[in-house]
Chains A and B, each alone.
Chain A
Amino acid sequence: MAYNSLTVPLIMMSMFWGLMGFLVPWFIPKRPNQGVIISMLVTCSVCCYLFWLIAILAQLNPLFGPQVNNETIQYLKYHWP
Chain B
Amino acid sequence: MGSLFRSESMCLAQLFLQAGTAYECLSALGERGLVQFRDLNQSVSSFQRKFVGEMKRCEELERILAYLVQEINKADIPLPEGETSPPAPPLKQVLEMQEQLQKLEVELREVTKNKEKLRKNLLELIEYTHMLRVTKTFVKRNVEFEPTYEEFPPLENDSLLDYSCMQRLGAKLGFVSGLINQGKVEAFEKMLWRVCKGYTIVTYAELDEPLEDPETGEVIKWYVFLISFWGEQIGYKVKKICDCYHCHIYPYPNTAEERKEIQEGLNTRIQDLYTVLHKTEDYLRQVLCKAAESVYSRVIQVRKMKAIYHMLNMCSFDVTNKCLIAEVWCPEADLQELRRALEDGSRESGATIPSFMNTIPTKETPPTLIRTNKFTEGFQNIVDAYGVGSYREVNPALFTIITFPFLFAVMFGDFGHGFVMFLFALLLVLNENHPRLNQSQEIMRMFFDGRYILLLMGLFSVYTGLIYNDCFSKSVNIFGSGWNVSAMYSSSHATKEHKKMVLWNDSVVRHNKVLQLDPSVPGVFQGPYPFGIDPIWNLATNRLTFLNSFKMKMSVILGIIHMTFGVTLGIFNHLHFRKKFNIYLVSIPELLFMLCIFGYLIFMIVYKWLVYSAETSRVAPSILIEFINMFLFPASETIGLYPGKSGYTLVRKDSEEEVSLLGSQDIEEGHNQMEDGCREVTNEEFNFGEILMTQVIHSIEYCLGCISNTASYLRLWALSLAHAQLSDVLWAMLMRVGLRVDTTYGVLLLLPVIAFFVILTVFILLIMEGLSAFLHAIRLHWVEFQNKFYTGAGTKFVPFSFSLLPSKFHNNDLA
Contact = CB atoms under 8 A, between A and B. Distances in A.
Given A35-B2, A39-B399, A62-B519, A70 B514 contact: yes
B352 interface: no
A2 B402 CA distance: 33
B539 A66 contact: yes
Interface stretch (B236-244, B439-447, B607-615): B607-615
Contact of B467 (A1, A6, A51): A51
Given A39-B399, A54-B557, A61 B612 contact: yes
Of the candidates A1, A40, A43, A59, the one having the most CB atoms from chain B within 10 angstroms of its own CB is: A59
B576 interface: no
A68 B483 CA distance: 12
Nearest to B488: A73
Interface in A48-81: 48, 50-52, 54-70, 72-74, 76-77, 80-81
Q: Which 7 A-B pairs have the closest CB atoms?
A: A35-B2, A5-B527, A66-B540, A65-B517, A61-B613, A9-B530, A63-B617
Contacts of B467: 51-52, 55
B188 interface: no
B24 interface: no
19 contacts: A34-B2, A35-B3, A51-B406, A51-B410, A51-B464, A55-B532, A55-B554, A57-B610, A58-B554, A59-B550, A61-B613, A61-B614, A63-B620, A64-B614, A67-B515, A67-B540, A68-B517, A73-B509, A77-B489
Contact of B402 (A40, A58, A61, A65): A40
A15 interface: no
Interface stretch (B541-549, B707-715, B721-729): B541-549
B534 interface: yes
Nearest to A79: B485
A58 B625 CA distance: 19
A25 B486 CA distance: 48
Contacts of A35: 1-5, 398
Contacts of A34: 2
B376 interface: yes
- How many chain A residues sit at the interface, stated as a range, is 35 or more
A59 B554 contact: no
Contacts of A80: 477, 480-481, 484-485
A17 to B, nearest CB: 12
Given A47-B406, A50-B558, A76-B485, A61 B610 contact: yes
B312 interface: no
A65 B550 contact: no
A47 B2 CA distance: 21
Nearest to B517: A65
Nearest to A78: B486
Chain A at the B interface: mostly helix, strand, loop or mixed?
A: helix
Contacts of B514: 67-70
A27 B481 CA distance: 38
A50 B560 CA distance: 13
Contact of A58 (B406, B482, B530, B609): B609
A35 B481 CA distance: 41
Contacts of B526: 2, 5
B277 interface: no
B401 to A, nearest CB: 6
A65 B377 CA distance: 48
B483 A65 contact: yes
A68 to B, nearest CB: 6
A56 B509 contact: no
A6 B528 contact: yes
A63 B485 contact: no
B530 A66 contact: no
B512 A70 contact: yes
B532 A77 contact: no
Contacts of B620: 63
B525 interface: yes
A30 B616 CA distance: 55
A64 B528 contact: no
A63 to B, nearest CB: 4
Contact of A56 (B486, B528, B541): B528
Contact of B537 (A32, A48, A66): A66
B518 interface: yes
Contact of B373 (A33, A51, A54): A33
A1 B481 CA distance: 17
Contacts of B485: 68, 73, 76-77, 80
Interface string B473-513: 00001001111111001000000000000001000011011
B515 A55 contact: no
Of the candidates B484, B528, B530, the one having the most CB atoms from chain A within 10 angstroms of its own CB is: B528
A81 to B, nearest CB: 7
B527 A66 contact: no
B606 interface: yes
Interface in A7-55: 8-9, 13, 32-36, 39-40, 43-44, 47-48, 50-52, 54-55
Given A36-B398, A43-B402, A70-B515, A54 B530 contact: no
A80 B480 CA distance: 8
Contacts of A48: 406, 463
A5 B517 contact: no
A4 B527 contact: yes
Contacts of B546: 62, 64, 66
Contacts of A5: 482, 526-528, 530
B516 A64 contact: yes
Contacts of A73: 485, 504, 509, 515
A78 to B, nearest CB: 9
Given A36-B401, A68-B540, 11 more contacts: A1-B613, A2-B527, A35-B1, A55-B467, A55-B533, A55-B554, A59-B534, A62-B546, A68-B517, A76-B485, A76-B539
B64 interface: no
Contacts of B530: 5, 8-9, 56
Given A8-B530, A64-B519, A65-B517, A43 B525 contact: no
Contacts of B373: 33
B553 interface: yes
Contacts of B402: 40, 43-44, 47
B21 to A, nearest CB: 33
